[in-house]
Amino acid sequence: MSRRRIMHMITPTDSVSPFDVNMAVDAGYEVIVPHCGVGESSVADFVQDAIFSRPPKSASTTGMFIGGGDVNRASEMLEIAKNAMVPPFEVSVLADPNGAFTTSAALVAVIEKCLSEHASASLKGSNLKIFGGGPVGLSTAVLAKECGASVSLIRLTASADDGALSEFTARFGVDIDSRRAVEQPERIAEAADAQVIVTTAKAGIQVLGQEALDQASGLLIAADVNAVPPTGIEGVEVMHNGDDVVCKWGSFKSIGALGIGRVKYKTQLELLKSMLASEDSLVLGLSDAYTEAARHA
């Protein structure tokens, strides 16, 4: 008799995301149990509670999902969970706080493919500017850096600090430039020499307008992750998926949220399915999400 497939969804916050619940169910998990308020101090006990109540080699039937909204906390919890396993007593774990790991993985994979197909270029050596330093911005910065891009993270508010960035880049052993561009002239100047622009601001905030684009004469690709218009870049639309957007000096390729979302969805689904297919424990984080996303871009 095969055991029923259980997904324990843990988060240091007060609620799990219905998005992640639905994905886990559609991947094949049969029982979904949310556990809120589980953080770094309790995750090890939590893992050991989960592993010792099922036989060895139960990773394919017992999964854990680490959510929340903080890429550093989720990464730390993933690391603690990994170290708490007592082989062969193991579960599989996926971290994807606020969907940021799979979203940024999809974003970078789609950009890489678009560069290759339309500009015979690649992220390697490209000048990438990321506007907005939330969970998706941070994750995108690290992945793009690992792809060899020259990455700058552009903060959009005066109050933004680099604590989360420093911690996150240290975790991956990379170094990323961070600057601030609160006013339009600064943003225009930042965009001017970019080959790839990514905006990850909150819904409804236009980060870059026509003037900025008209001066970014080396721009190959501009991408935005907001599913609800207006997007963060003038002319970039939600449905765009490598569409041409014309500006003063020529045109660039535009990528909107729906194309990214399709790859993000597929990435998350396949990561979850891989957990269900593996008798051995899989512990999946940002880098694994990118490996998977590259298959679906």
Q: Which residues bind a copy of itself (CB under 8 A)?
A: 3-4, 6, 8, 14-23, 25-26, 30-38, 42, 46, 49-50, 52-54, 62, 227, 261, 265
Closest CA to 266 of 27, 61, 83: 27
Rg of the Cα trace of the chain? 20
The token pair that represents 165 in the structure block: 């960035």
Task: Write down the least CB distance from residue 240 to a copy of itself, Å.
Answer: 18
Task: Write down the least CB distance from residue 23 to a copy of itself, Å.
Answer: 6
- Of residues 55 and 148, the one with the C-beta less far from a copy of itself: 55
CB 187 within 8 A of CB 131: yes
Number of DSSP helices (H) and strands (E) in the chain, helices first: 10, 12
Task: Write down the least CB distance from residue 107 to a copy of itself, Å.
Answer: 16
- Of residues 91 and 221, the one with the C-beta less far from a copy of itself: 91
CB 90 within 8 A of CB 82: no
CB 267 within 8 A of CB 289: yes
Task: Write down the least CB distance from residue 175 to a copy of itself, Å.
Answer: 34
Task: Write down the least CB distance from residue 56 to a copy of itself, Å.
Answer: 13
- Of residues 16 and 208, the one with the C-beta less far from a copy of itself: 16
Q: Within 222-256, where are the H helices?
A: none
**What's the CA gap between 210 and 23, in Å, rounded?**
38
- Of residues 83 and 210, the one with the C-beta less far from a copy of itself: 83
Task: Write down the least CB distance from residue 17 to a copy of itself, Å.
Answer: 5
Task: Write down the least CB distance from residue 236 to a copy of itself, Å.
Answer: 19
C-alpha separations of 124 from 148, 178, 231 in Å = 4, 19, 26
- Of residues 19 and 166, the one with the C-beta less far from a copy of itself: 19
- Of residues 102 and 178, the one with the C-beta less far from a copy of itself: 102
- Of residues 63 and 133, the one with the C-beta less far from a copy of itself: 63
Task: Write down the least CB distance from residue 239 to a copy of itself, Å.
Answer: 13
CB 88 within 8 A of CB 278: no
What count of residues does the chain have? Answer: 297
Strand-by-strand arrangement of the 283-284 sheet? 31-36, 6-11, 62-66, 92-95, 283-284
- Of residues 62 and 195, the one with the C-beta less far from a copy of itself: 62
**What's the CA gap between 54 and 164, in Å, rounded?**
37
b/e per residue 35-53 (b: at least 16 CB within 10 A): eeebbeebbeebbbebbee
